[in-house]
Amino acid sequence: MIRLITLAVVTVAIMAQAGCGEKAQTATERKVDTKIWSGTDNAFAASGWKTGDQAAWEEQMRNRAQAQNDYTRVK
């Protein structure tokens, strides 16, 4: 019985020590050095979007937001 209690105390002590060793998780601010609509030229860009065109970027964002609107999808 004493062995079981000792094992439980040691287990709790080890778990407490593991919790103290965690690194702090802080949110960092996003660093922006280019305009958001300038984007990148990669395969993951949306098909109707033109790189560097602010109006096209805003239109694409409106279309994406509208596609997530459940009220427009209900028939």
- Rounded distance between C-alpha atoms, residue 45 and residue 34, angstroms: 17
Alpha-helix runs per DSSP H in the chain: 2-20, 54-67, 70-73
Whether pLDDT at 68 is above 70: yes
Q: What is the pTM of this model?
A: 0.45
Q: What is the per-residue pLDDT across 19-67, written as a single tens digit (0 to 9) for each?
A: 677 677 777 776 667 777 777 667 777 776 777 888 888 888 888 888 8
- Torsion-angle region of residue 42: left (phi > 0), alpha (psi -120 to 50) or beta? beta
